[in-house]
Amino acid sequence: TGALNRNGFAAEMGQRSPNGKMLANTTLMIIDLDNFKRINDSRGHDAGDAVLRETAQVIHKNTRTTDRFIRWGGEEFILFCENTNAQQALVIAEKIRAAIETMTINYHEDAISVTVSIGLGVAVAQENFDDLFHRTDQALYRAKHMGRNCVVLSDNTTPT
């Protein structure tokens, strides 16, 4: 996919934030392919791999050079954006969501369409990555429950 893996991202985060704290206006997006299991089950894992590659290319094309793009696992990607407020992040996330919704993946004789749900979280000053991830994951969960193919911004309250 051309995305960093978790280990590569962890090493980078250790250099960027040795104390584990995020700067304010650090944005995290969790991008999850909707109903991906259905693609693998009905068309096979090679088709699923093609979907992952094409989706990753669309995400790459719609991000900035300073953003970090990570394959988190399975059909889940993360976009880590520094110096990005909520308004800017919503524009980026919606641009990615819309671009993926309109793409068609041609796999053999089959045309595959996909959508993504995106959870979005913006760090408050000195928030740790795990808390930001948890809030962002909750936003993704809400996006899935709202019917998928949407972007949901988390609240800015860190868990206690």
Q: Clarify whether 82 is annotated catalytic.
A: no
Helix or strand holding residue 13 (H, E): helix 6-16
Q: For the chain, what is the HEC assignment?
A: CCCECHHHHHHHHHHHCCCCECCCCCEEEEEEECCHHHHHHHHCHHHHHHHHHHHHHHHHHCCCCCCEEEEEECCEEEEEECCCCHHHHHHHHHHHHHHHHHCCEEECCEEECCCEEEEEEECCCCCEHHHHHHHHHHHHHHHHHCCCCCEEECCCCCCC
**Which of the residues 12, 54, 75, 94 is marked catalytic?**
75
What are the catalytic residues?
A: 75
